[in-house]
């Protein structure tokens, strides 16, 4: 492989390990010596009508004071597509305003600005939404979509769960027990592992399934929500224990599981995500098998890959009553084939290898595209994303939300990228508590 290709693959792997993890983004105070490139728009909510012109203002500062770099480079274009305009401009008194243009069809227009100071590059961006509520899916649902998944799930459920639970006393508290658990998935010997947190007090409790962002890692479980009176199960997807040393996961991420999201994409029965989607559904089976679970109060929650898995699980499992999904991945994957951003892992992007863009792989992707699961949702849901997300484009999050016909709420955090902000974290936990804890079992 050429060095450029290797660097791109390494970057993609790092994104998988780091960027797609659902974690609270730390808004630590910036170092006073750090250069800040801040991009904003002339509409405070960054929302525009079609053919309305957007103006981007770029401010460069250090320690809160305007900074005048030698020059600034900016690019403006639709998400994930080649820039429509690109230029170097002079900056006076630390600020420059750029005429960004407009869009004539629904979408997102982004300005990315970079400056170089003392050999280091600094970057900022802002994204304008143009009639994003009108964005429609490019993905189409195969005629046998639902029968394919119903058949696969029925076959998986013929396999005994064979559940195993190992108490983790060092993680348990006076109020909850924490276990590493595992259970069989879609075939004998294939297991799903996770961390189960359960109140010690006798009784029946609501349960929350937390599904993971992309990557290969250990898990701690959600002890905070368990302490508040619910059972939580946080699962991994790769069929390996979730309490191993970190170097094990690192070696797997850069070795056998590198780019797992491309594995067997040309075969709908062998694609990697088949066992993943089924594993999430078997996790519901496991939760319901626990005598402490109040099966009338079940929810699923995740972000990025986990946002995708949340929608999939809620669409196929009628025992799930609530769904919360942030910036769902694997959504409207064929957007790139229609000159628009597609979802992570960007299977059909212009820069993706031609070997990915075959008829067989495009057909397989339709069975795993989150948009098609969103069409099946019937339960209340909470959704959130940021306009500046460069991993799971706002375009695809909007498409998923617009496709859903079930009761739905959304929280837009326009400046947010691919991370969970404190605002989102507080809001989603409150939404889940209000639904799961407000209606105790009769």
Put simply, whether the predicted model's pTM sits higher than 0.85 gets the answer: yes
Which of 332, 389, 397, 398 is flagged as catalytic?
389
3 carries an active-site annotation: no
Task: Compute the half-sphere exposure of residue 236: CA atoms within 13 Å on the CB side of its CA.
Answer: 22
- Last residue within a domain, chosen from 77, 110, 133: 133
b vs e for 106-142, b when ≥16 Cβ sit within 10 Å of the residue's Cβ? bbbbbbbbbbeeeeeebebbbbbbbbbeebebbbebe
- CATH number, position 159: 3.40.50.1820
Which of 19, 304, 331, 384 is flagged as catalytic?
304
222 carries an active-site annotation: no
- Asked if residue 400 and residue 275 are part of one domain, the reply reads yes
- Last residue within a domain, chosen from 69, 103, 133: 133
- Give the Å distances, CA to CA, from 15 to 20, 21, 71, 220: 6, 9, 29, 21
- Asked if residue 120 and residue 150 are part of one domain, the reply reads no
Range of the domain at 70: 31-133
- Last residue within a domain, chosen from 104, 133, 162: 133
19 carries an active-site annotation: no
Sort strands 95-101 and 107-117 into parallel, antiparallel or unpaired. unpaired
What string of pLDDT tens digits covers the 442 residues of the chain?
344 344 344 444 444 444 444 444 433 444 567 899 999 999 999 999 999 999 999 999 998 899 988 789 999 999 999 999 999 999 989 999 999 999 999 999 999 999 998 889 999 999 999 999 999 999 999 999 999 999 999 999 999 999 999 999 999 999 999 999 999 999 999 999 999 999 999 999 999 999 999 999 999 999 999 999 999 999 999 999 999 999 999 999 999 999 999 999 999 999 999 999 999 999 999 999 999 999 999 999 999 999 999 999 999 999 999 999 999 999 999 999 999 999 999 999 999 999 999 999 999 999 999 999 999 999 999 999 999 999 999 999 999 999 999 999 999 999 999 999 999 999 999 999 999 998 654 3
- Residue 358 neighbours by CB under 8 Å, 6+ apart: 266
b vs e for 393-424, b when ≥16 Cβ sit within 10 Å of the residue's Cβ? bbbbbbbbbbbbeeebeebbbbebbbbbbeeb
Distance in angstroms (rounded) separating the CA atoms of residues 200 and 213 = 29
Query: Could you tell me if residue 157 is inside a domain?
Result: yes
Q: Are 126 and 54 in contact (CB under 8 A)?
A: no
- Asked if residue 246 and residue 269 are part of one domain, the reply reads yes
- Asked if residue 219 and residue 94 are part of one domain, the reply reads no
- Residue 271 neighbours by CB under 8 Å, 6+ apart: 263, 264, 265, 364, 367, 368
- Asked if residue 171 and residue 45 are part of one domain, the reply reads no
């Amino acid at each position: 492989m050429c060095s450029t290709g290797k660097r791109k693959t390494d970057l993609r792997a790092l994104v998988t390990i780091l960027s797609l993890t659902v974690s609270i983004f730390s808004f630590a105070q910036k170092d006073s010596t750090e250069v800040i490139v801040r991009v904003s728009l002339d509409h405070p909510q960054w929302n525009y009508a079609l053919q309305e012109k957007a103006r981007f203002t770029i401010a460069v500062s250090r320690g809160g004071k305007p900074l005048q770099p030698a020059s600034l480079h900016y690019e403006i274009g639709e998400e994930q597509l080649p820039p429509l305009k690109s230029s170097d401009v002079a900056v006076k008194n630390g600020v420059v305003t750029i005429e960004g243009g407009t869009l004539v069809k629904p979408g997102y227009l982004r300005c990315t600005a970079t400056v170089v100071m003392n050999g280091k590059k600094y970057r900022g961006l802002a994204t304008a939404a143009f009639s994003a509520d009108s964005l429609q899916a490019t993905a189409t649902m195969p005629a046998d979509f639902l029968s394919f998944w119903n058949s696969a799930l029925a076959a998986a459920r013929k396999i005994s769960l064979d559940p195993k639970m190992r108490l983790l006393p060092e993680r348990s508290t006076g109020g909850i027990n924490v276990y590493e658990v595992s259970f069989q998935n879609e075939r004998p010997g294939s297991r799903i592992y996770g961390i189960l947190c359960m109140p010690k007090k006798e009784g029946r409790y609501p349960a929350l399934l937390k599904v993971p962002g992309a990557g290969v890692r250990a898990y701690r479980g959600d002890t905070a929500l368990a302490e508040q009176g619910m059972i939580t199960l946080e699962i991994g997807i790769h069929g390996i224990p979730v309490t191993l040393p970190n170097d094990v996961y690192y070696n797997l991420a850069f070795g056998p599981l590198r780019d797992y999201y491309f594995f067997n994409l040309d075969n709908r029965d062998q694609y990697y995500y088949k066992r993943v989607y089924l594993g999430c559904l078997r996790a519901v089976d496991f939760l319901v098998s626990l005598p402490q679970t109040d099966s009338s109060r079940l929810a699923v929650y995740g972000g990025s890959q986990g946002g995708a898995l949340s929608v999939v699980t809620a669409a196929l499992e009628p025992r799930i009553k609530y769904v919360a999904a942030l910036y769902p991945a694997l959504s409207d994957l064929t957007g790139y084939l229609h000159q628009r951003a597609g979802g992570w892992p960007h299977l059909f992007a212009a820069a993706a290898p031609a070997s990915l863009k075959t008829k067989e792989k495009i057909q397989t992707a339709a069975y795993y595209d989150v948009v098609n699961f969103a069409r099946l949702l019937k339960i209340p849901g909470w959704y959130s994303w940021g306009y500046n997300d460069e991993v799971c484009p706002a375009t695809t999050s909007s498409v998923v939300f617009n496709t859903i016909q079930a009761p739905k709420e959304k929280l837009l955090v326009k400046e947010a990228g691919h991370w969970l902000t404190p605002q989102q974290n507080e809001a989603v936990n409150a939404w889940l508590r209000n639904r799961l804890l407000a209606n105790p079992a009769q």
